[in-house]
């Protein structure tokens, strides 16, 4: 399943850290909602704009081992 992060709000001084954490939590909640507790989950994050950036990988783990 794929998902993406929303861009930060267009305010003069957005709280980028809170926006990132909230966006990641929402993304993980959405992606993991139909996954069983013992199912293996792996995560890859990549830059769609600059394809030359190396992706970031999170190893496969059971859903019940994710925090």
Read off the pLDDT of residues 33-67 as tens digits, 9 standing for 90 and up.
888 888 888 878 787 787 788 888 777 778 777 76
Task: Write down the domain spans for the chain.
Answer: 38-67
pLDDT at 8: 78
Q: Report yes or no: 40 and 61 within 8 Å, Cβ to Cβ.
A: yes
CA 36 from chain center: how many Å? 18
Cite the beta strand spans of the chain per DSSP E: 40-45, 56-62
Distance of CA 46 to the CA centre of its chain: 10
Whether residue 1 has pLDDT greater than 60: no
Question: What is the predicted pLDDT for the residue at 35?
Answer: 84
Radius of gyration, CA atoms only, the chain? 14
Q: What is the mean pLDDT of residues 14-26?
A: 84
What pLDDT sits at residue 2? Answer: 61
């Amino acid at each position: 399943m794929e998902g993406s992060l929303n861009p930060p709000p267009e305010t003069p001084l957005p709280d980028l850290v809170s926006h990132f954490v909230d966006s990641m939590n929402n993304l993980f909640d959405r992606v993991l909602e139909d996954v069983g507790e013992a199912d293996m989950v792996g995560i890859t994050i990549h830059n769609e704009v600059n394809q030359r950036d190396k992706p970031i990988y999170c190893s496969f783990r059971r859903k019940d081992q994710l925090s």
